Amino acid sequence: MSDVVLVFGYALLTALATGLGALPFAFVRQVSARAITWSNAIAAGLMLGASFGLVSEGSTHGRLETLGGALAGVVFILLTQRVLGDHDDAELSFGAIQGAGARKMLLMLVVMTVHSFSEGVAVGVSFGGGISLATAITIAIAVHNVPEGVAISAVMRPQGVSVLRCAGWSVFSSLPQPLMAVPAFLFVDAFRPALPWGLGFAAGAMVFMVLVELLPEAFHDGRRGSVASLTTLMLVAMVLFQRALH
């Protein structure tokens, strides 16, 4: 029983770490058009890099299952977009923000929250390998969550959401991690076959979100060269960062 509490506690810590991603945005006062472009490019690079890691990890469990999961992730986002309505839908509101901005924030939150489910399963399954490694894995996942919080805050902060709320939503997006980690830990054998599907799903959803929302907007407002450079830098940094934690 104490093991279950430990797994839950550790996974909860990793969720809280996501909130730290809002910190850099405490220093951004003015939200200019340029800041929005850069934020989009930063979020795009971080999410693409994270997806590279997910696909790589998923492929070690099953390449075709990972790709199947990615396809399901894309379909899921398409359906979510359908539910949230068209770009210019002024009816939609999220807190004080309305229309296209609210739609994008909601989509971002859905994508990042859903992707945490499969990460939670990954945590639980790897804990199943032996609780002695738990601390190391927890620290790795917690640190890995920080840039994901940056990605979420990069989308929310330019819409005028306060830093504290950015942190709150970042933590929220990671809450599925502790919730999924426990059952995955308890029933490792049942969950393990689902892992490549889940990781692929998360990757497909994130890459699609980047390609359909973040990059078009960044290119619309910013110079191509700068957007490309920032995205490339963030992508490679995220890949190296995740590798270093592994």
The binding site for another protein (CB under 8 A) comprises: 52, 55-56, 59, 63-64, 66-67, 70-71, 74, 78, 204, 207-208, 211-213, 215-216, 219-220, 223-225, 227-229, 231-233, 235-237, 239-240, 243-244
- Residue 196: C-alpha distances to residues 2, 117, 176 (Å): 28, 13, 17
Pairing between β-strand 93-94 and β-strand 97-98 as defined by DSSP bridges: antiparallel
Q: Which burial class, exposed, middle or buried, applies to 93 when counting CB atoms under 10 A from its CB (0-12, 13-18, 19+)? A: middle
Closest to another protein by CB, 57 or 119? 57
Nearer to another protein by C-beta: 5 or 64?
A: 64
Select 22 or 50, whichever has its Cβ closest to another protein.
50
Cα 235 to chain center, whole Å?
A: 13
Nearest approach, Cβ of 240 to another protein (angstroms)? Answer: 5
Token pair recorded at residue 218: 């960044």
- Write out the H or E segment, with its range, that includes residue 97: strand 97-98
Q: Which is nearer to another protein, 28 or 75 (CB)?
A: 75
CB of 26 to another protein, least distance (A): 27
Residue ranges in the chain assigned as alpha helix (H): 2-19, 33-61, 63-84, 100-128, 134-156, 163-174, 176-186, 188-191, 195-209, 215-221, 224-245
How many angstroms separate the CA atoms of 66 and 201, rounded?
Answer: 7
User: What is the closest distance, in whole angstroms, from the C-beta atom of residue 37 to another protein in the complex?
Assistant: 12
Is the Cβ–Cβ distance between 77 and 205 less than 8 Å? yes
The structure tokens listed for 5 are 């509490």
Q: Smaller CB distance to another protein: residue 23 or 143?
A: 143
| 242 SS3 class | helix
- Would you say 112 or 166 has its CB closer to another protein? 112
